[in-house]
Amino acid sequence: MKNILVIGAAGQIGSELTPELRKRYGHTRVVAGIHKTIPPRELFESGPVEIIDVTDKEQLVPVIRKYKIDTIYNLAALLSVVGEANPLEAWRVGMNGLLNVLEVSREYRCAVFTPSSIGAFGLSTPLDNTPQDTIQRPQTMYGITKVAGELLSDYYFKRFGVDTRSVRYPGIISNVTPPGGGTTDYAVEIFYAAVKEKRFTCPLHPKTYLDMMYMPDALEAAVQLMEVDPSRLKHRNAFNVTAMSFCPEMIAAEIRRHIPDFEIHYQIDPIKQSIAESWPNKMDDSCAREEWDWDPKYDLPKVTEDMLRVIKKKVKGGE
Ligand code: SER
């Protein structure tokens, strides 16, 4: 039976992964580790919550011991755009945090999931059908922490036998907690703008392609990878995973099928644009499909339909 700690439980992924894990493994067995962000009320009501600063190892140890934790989902990180505004903090949270998680996991025999990202690639990577194993020379501090994190996680597996596993998430589209300062955030913001104002000002060029995924598939990826028989894994840190690839023009056209008078305008943000151009247009995720049966359910039409349905309900309810 698993005893799980989610670090970063109040963030975009954590606020949905924690309830999902509680549903699957039992509410009292999944501890929500929060830091500065105030979590949704349900997180407190549905199971244990602990305040943890991942950059301080002394705060991790008592929680691991108290709940006999054997699996850690380490989600604490700064996204790409905020990471560029504060590169040292991005390093401190991403790397010092990960090192602490890996060290306690070595000592207490925990399995570790730490998301990597499309940000782990850069301009010298083949950006179409980006292979699983390829050149990784990212230009952002976010990407540098992701590549270093992949290497460190593989090192702890090979050297110390820590069961580390990871995926390279694309942009994640969701409607519970907003993403905090990423390059792919436009693909979330566009839905809120479409429902509220029927109009969106896009920071990326109309033809900038990026990989994307809806949150239910992102949660499934994390849980499925952590559950798979390790003898099947040829790779560990980290698997390419994608569910769709689109550009702003395409998502706008899809939204117009539901809201015909929706308008998109472009005001290019040079930082976001240059980051987006250094990331894959579309990753090849065949290794994830072969090694642990990755099989996403949501494509662009399905995400659009569901996002608009949920956001319309939220807006009507005054959220
Ligand atoms: N969503 C992230 C970002 O845009 C990429 O993994 O920073």
Per-residue confidence (pLDDT) for residue 306, from 0 to 100: 98
Share of the chain above pLDDT 70, in %: 99
* 303 residue type, one letter: V
Q: Which residues pair with 282 in a beta bridge?
A: 128
Q: Name the token pair of 166.
A: 């990871």
Is the pLDDT assigned to residue 152 strictly greater than 80? yes
Q: How far apart are CA 24 and CA 236, in angstroms?
A: 23
* Residue ranges, CATH 3.40.50.720, the chain: 4-170+214-240
- What pLDDT was estimated at residue 36? 74
Over pLDDT 90: what percentage of the chain?
Answer: 93
C-alpha closest to that of 14 among 184, 237, 176, 239:
176
Spatial separation of the C-alpha atoms in residues 180 and 110, rounded to whole Å: 28
Order across the sheet with 167-169: list the strands.
116-117, 167-169, 239-240
* Centroid of chain to Cα 120: 13
pLDDT at 45 over 90: no
- pLDDT given at position 138: 98
The torsion angles phi and psi of 221, rounded to 5 degrees, stand at: -60, -45
Characterize 62-98 residue by residue with b for buried, 16 or more Cβ atoms within 10 angstroms of its Cβ, and e for exposed: ebbeebebbbbbbbbbbbbbbbbeebeebbebbbebb
Candidate from 84, 166, 183, 188 with most ligand 1 atoms within 8 A of CB, to mutate: 183
What pLDDT is stored for residue 169 in this prediction?
98
pLDDT of 126 reads: 97
Q: How far is the CA of 78 from the centre of ligand 1 (A)?
A: 9
pTM reported for the whole predicted model: 0.96
Third-level CATH fold of 171-212+244-281+298-316: UDP-galactose 4-epimerase; domain 1 (3.90.25)
Residue ranges matching CATH 3.90.25 in the chain: 171-212+244-281+298-316
Is the C-beta atom of 184 inside 6 A of ligand 1? yes
CATH topology of domain 4-170+214-240: Rossmann fold (3.40.50)
Q: How confident is the model at residue 12 (pLDDT cuts 50, 70, 90)?
A: very high
Residue in 73, 108, 142, 266 annotated catalytic: 142
Question: Catalytic annotation on 142?
Answer: yes
Q: Please determine, for residue 319, whether its predicted confidence score (pLDDT) is greater than 80.
A: no
State pLDDT tens for residues 14-37.
999 999 999 999 999 999 999 877
Residue nearest to atom 2 of ligand 1 (CA): 182
Q: How far apart are CA 207 and CA 57, in angstroms?
A: 44
Tell me if 8 sits within 8 A of 33, measured CB to CB.
yes
The pLDDT of residue 318 is 73
pLDDT, tens digit, for every residue of 83-101?
A: 999 999 999 999 999 999 9
Q: Is 182 in the pocket of ligand 1 (CB under 6 A)?
A: yes
Average pLDDT value over all residues in the chain = 96
Amino acid identity of 232?
R
In the reported structure, the alpha carbon of residue 171 is separated from the centroid of ligand 1 by a whole-number distance in angstroms of 5
